[in-house]
Amino acid sequence: MVYVGGKKKLAKYICPILQKELDTGKYSAYVEPFGGGGNIMENINFSIRYFYDINKYLIAFYKALQDGWEMPQPNSFGAEHYNEVKNSFKLKDGKYPDYYYGYMMFVPSYNGRMWGSYAKDGGQRLYQKEHYLSVKESFLKIKNCIFEAKSYDELKLNNCLIYCDIPYRESKKQYYDIDFNYRNFYDWVRTNSKNNKIFISEMTMPNDFKIIWEKECNRSLSHQKKFFITEKLYTI
């Protein structure tokens, strides 16, 4: 789905690398500890796929879709309701189910930014419809995943191929509402690489990690202001 920091545009480069490794037949499962918008997962073909994310509301939303819940039709509510649910979330008053908070924080949100602002249609862009159809289409490709709300460091994995799309050190990509400890993550990768194969998307990593792919990309959400970074795929 539309998701800030997602890999929708880069999936065509990253997924073949992951799929080629999976096709060796050496792994028992494919795992994403930072599932997010599912842009990589939806392009991976494997019988057992685990989709983790620390955001319990996002996972509740995916599970609701898995159970047959139907999202509201595009433009069936306005900014007033969006902001009311957003305020309820901030107050933690539990007025709405977790899956509804998960839906509202991303799908009708401008550019898929978590609780950014209500996505109003403008010019020739029908943002509400675009986001709605993006989720409908993408979820068909990940609906058979095993979804769980967990932090990466809670996972006990063995003989898996793992892809990590972490919050970049030099960007504002969110890891829900928690400060991301990079040193702990690097150590987790080093330890778990003994029994698994791990790939990480980042712009910079410690020297013991090796780059296996890189590409310069525009990371701006605006057509007026553009800036470029070099996306890299690492392993160890």
Tell me the mean pLDDT in the region 186-200: 98
Task: Indicate if the pLDDT at residue 174 is higher than 70.
Answer: no
Tokens representing residue 75 in the block: 């433009």
How would residue 2 be classed by pLDDT, with cut points 50, 70 and 90?
A: confident
pLDDT for 228: 79
Sheet bearing 146-149, strands edge to edge: 146-149, 49-53, 29-32, 160-165, 197-202, 228-235, 210-218
pLDDT in tens, 140-169: 999 999 999 999 999 999 999 999 999 988
User: Collapsing DSSP states into helix, strand and coil, what is residue 62?
Assistant: helix
Q: What pLDDT does residue 229 have?
A: 83
Torsion over CA: 109, 114, 143, 213 (sign): positive
User: How much is the pLDDT for 46?
Assistant: 98
HSE toward the beta carbon, residue 78, CA cutoff 13 A: 1
Can you give the pTM of this predicted structure? 0.93
Ranges assigned E (strand) in 18-159: 29-32, 49-53, 146-149
